[in-house]
Amino acid sequence: MTGVNDIRESFLSFFEKQGHTRRASAPLVPQNDPTLLFVNAGMVPFKNIFTGAETPFAPRATTSQKCVRAGGKHNDLDNVGYTARHHTFFEMLGNFSFGDYFKEQAIQYGWDLVTKEFGLDPKRLLVTVYAEDDEAAALWKKIAGLPDDRIIRIATSDNFWSMGDTGPCGPCSEIFYDHGDKIPGGPPGSPDEDGDRFIEIWNLVFMQFEQSADGSRTSLPKPSIDTGMGLERIAAVLQGVHNNYEIDLFANLIKAEEDLYGAKAEGDHLASFRVIADHLRTSAFLIADGVLPSNEGRGYVLRRIMRRAMRHGHLLGAREPMMHRLTPALIGEMGKAYPELGRAKAAIESALEQEEGRFQRTLGRGLSLLDEATTGLGAGDALPGETAFRLYDTFGFPLDLTQDILRSRGMSVDTDAFDAAMDVQREGSRSAGFTSGDTATDDIWFAVRDKSGATKFGGYAATEDQGKL
């Protein structure tokens, strides 16, 4: 079996052989874009090159870029544990042409890599193109010999990429792998395309236009290429498994969890094991890149991810900090490709241990409160917003954690009432301020911290949909 580490290497060396300069992954905290939460695609570190603001360091490049999609425009947090193909942290493999080669060469490389280098069966592959992109459709026919019914035209923004309201943009073309008719789901463009039978493995973006503020598009004199292939997804295909969480890397992490928690990754527990493995990676990589759990901005996204994982640890029986003890297993899997993990080992372990210890002081009682509050409620019902607020305020449950817990029972939260309770508190804290006083037990101290953070966090939450801080 070809392991994840070998697959990453084959991709990068394939493109190196085709004259691409190999670059290390940029850090997860964007260096060139303060409005973006986390790097969420391979092209992000090269934005200024694509806009022309920066001179390219080489005409062609290839990377395996660390990506986090949790918060902002791309938010896959709620998919983890539910789909076979989403992580909050993943590696995006890419080849880039900065005004060098274009569409035909990009499609040729893509097809050669998947069918020759990786040896995938062409009959399992299908592609999408943007509805108006006749050129791409013709090239797939010519280069790959794909029949028309496996070159699917998509008219939505799924197949038209743009950097923002202005700047470079263009059609894209995605390669899908058919995992077979035993798995539910339809081909791209069909009503059940969100199933996991046809899994998107690679997105090729053809940056050929420049969009101006008035919405008009002009052709770029030197069009560019940006591609992104999910390493874990291609690994699943190459390792003959359907679910990303069954690839070698995750199988080994989950084995380490089984030993640690003394439980089996099966039945009701399976999703917990997967969520912990995913969130462990995200947490460790964010901490290694300098993010620490806090009550605002990036740090609050990290805290939410950690606490979600820790709630799953609780489901597996953890009553003392456990998650930090998985750090060596993660470094064993990924430390060679990402030496920053090993360098940050102590920081990762102590941040995880402290956060879990802190949360465990209130987690059990918060869960009991939630159980009481939902007695008599059923699927389709909403938890009163005041209760969700109390969980947030006194027990350190981020709103999305409460929502995630209720989701498995088919319940939701009355978020309007939650927001109203938050507003009342904000008003109160503005006029009265906080007094820690002599009753400041740990729990109260913690509640105050969450309160003061919550005030700051509100502003961010309000603009989160745009993916801005």
Stretch that binds ligand ATP, among 82-90, 113-121, 255-263, 374-382 (CB under 6 A): 82-90
In the list 23, 60, 87, 269, the residue contacting ligand ATP (rule: CB under 6 A) is 87
Tell me which amino acid residue 131 is: A
Q: Which residue is nearest to Mg ion (CB)?
A: 203
Which of residues 25, 95, 159, 203 is near Mg ion by CB under 5 A? 203
Alpha helices in 145-269 (DSSP H): 231-238, 248-261
The minimum distance between CB 199 and ligand ATP, in angstroms, equals 7
* Segment interacting with ligand ATP, rule: CB under 6 A, options 83-91, 293-301, 330-338, 461-469: 83-91
90 touches ligand ATP (CB under 6 A): yes
Q: How many residues does the chain have?
A: 469
Q: Is 278 in the site for ligand ATP (CB under 6 A)?
A: no
Token pair recorded at residue 406: 């209720």
User: Choosing among ligand ATP, Mg ion, none, which partner's interface includes residue 201 (Cβ < 5 to 8 Å by kind)?
Assistant: ligand ATP
Closest listed residue to residue 22, CA positions, set 96, 103, 90, 91 = 96
Q: What is the CA radius of gyration of the chain?
A: 23
Compose the 190-219 pattern: x for residues touching ligand ATP by CB under 6 A, - for all others: ----------xxxx----------------
66 binds ligand ATP (CB under 6 A): no
Q: How far apart are CB 197 and Mg ion at their closest, in Å?
A: 14
Contact partner at residue 85 from ligand ATP, Mg ion, none, CB < 5 to 8 Å by partner kind: ligand ATP
Pair type for strands 89-97 and 60-68: antiparallel
Distance CA 422, CA 30 (A): 30
Q: Which region among 215-223, 230-238, 358-366, 377-385 touches ligand ATP (by CB under 6 A)?
A: 230-238
Angle between helices 134-144 and 103-112 (to 10 degrees): 40
Dihedral sign for Cα atoms in the order 108, 114, 120, 125: negative
**Among 100, 133, 210, 232, interactor with ligand ATP by CB under 6 A:** 232
- Least distance from ligand ATP to the Cβ atom of residue 194, Å: 8
Contacts of 266 (CB under 8 A, 6+ apart): none
Question: Rounded to an integer, what distance in angstroms lies between the CA atom of residue 9 and that of residue 106?
Answer: 19
What single-letter DSSP state applies at residue 113? I
C-alpha 128/C-alpha 44 separation (Å) is: 23
Give the nearer residue to Mg ion in terms of CB position, either 203 or 282.
203
Shortest Å distance, C-beta 92 to Mg ion: 11
- Closest to Mg ion by CB, 172 vs 315, is 172
Query: How far is Cα 279 from Cα 277, in angstroms, rounded to an integer?
Result: 6
- Residue 173 tokens read as 């073309």
| Contacting residues toward ligand ATP, per CB under 6 A | 69, 76, 85-87, 90, 92, 200-203, 228-230, 232-233
| Contacting residues toward Mg ion, per CB under 5 A | 200, 203
